[in-house]
Amino acid sequence: DNRVAANSGAAPVNHLSVSGNACGPAAFLNALRFGDPNWQRGMEMIVGNSDKTKLSYTLRVYGLRPSKQLAGRTRWSKAGINVEDLIAMGNDVLHGRLLPELKGEVLLPKSKESATELLERSHAALARSFRNGLPPIVSVRRQVLRKGKDGKAAWLTIESHFITLLRIPGKVDAATGSFAFDYLDPWGGKRCSGTFRIAPPDATAYGLIAELPSTPVGKKLVKEGERTSVTLSAVVGRW
């Protein structure tokens, strides 16, 4: 009983054709294209006759508007785009096209929320978007335990990345505390597989572990000997 993208046989957008830091906008375009016919219409109505021109137009017209969160910055910059600005950008793209608004949910632990509850909540949020015809866009981040100038070690996010999910199971695997999924990596326009799982007891990761063997997510930025993990941080979708 899987939840699967409605148009799963489509060709994914590869953001490297335009920019090395456009994973969020490209993941959004992939969600439209791989969604049901209503969401596909949203992709078709974007100006451009190719993935490259559609992505370039989206970045230029909607990505360079003022950031919702960062004063004096544009939504999209050389640092990429954050979740709130991606939602704002996506809703501007969809405005006037008779499509519902995108929403977001932070998928980090809430106060007194157990790891199992977080896993179930995350799965439920993803499933809701699939049910509404839009493959969910997921934000993941790489964190490292790194010493600051004061000599104290703290968890630091060194890179974030957006992917678009293609398939999740109907329910989580309670025995393993995980669920597998298929996804689109806009870095290269690749189809990949991964797993979200509860962090083991000896881990200090904040949130669910995202195992993405085909997607490095800032691995080259990790210094030798540093503890590191890739975790799930948020979802953008429709519910």
Residue type at position 156: L
Residue 72: both structure tokens together: 């004096």
Check whether 202 has a pLDDT greater than 90.
Answer: no
- Ordered by start, the domain boundaries in the chain are 11-237
Q: What is the pLDDT of residue 68?
A: 84
Q: What is the pLDDT of residue 156?
A: 86
Q: What is the pLDDT averaged over residues 170-196?
A: 97
- What confidence tens digit (pLDDT) does each residue in 58-116 have? 999 999 999 988 999 999 998 899 999 999 999 999 998 889 999 999 999 999 999 99
Q: What is the pLDDT averaged over residues 20-37?
A: 98
Ordered DSSP codes for 54-76: HHHHHIIIIITSBPSSSTT-BSS
Between 226 and 43, residue with greater pLDDT: 43
DSSP 173: B
What value does the mean pLDDT of the chain take? 95
C-alpha to C-alpha distance for 131 and 6, rounded to whole angstroms: 10
Between 154 and 93, residue with greater pLDDT: 93
pTM: 0.94
C-alpha to C-alpha distance for 107 and 141, rounded to whole angstroms: 12
Confidence band of 204 (pLDDT split at 50, 70, 90): low
Check whether 209 has a pLDDT greater than 70.
Answer: yes
Q: What is the pLDDT of residue 227?
A: 86
Does the domain spanning 11-237 belong to CATH 3.90.70?
Answer: yes
Q: What is the rounded end-to-end Cα distance, in angstroms, of the chain? A: 20
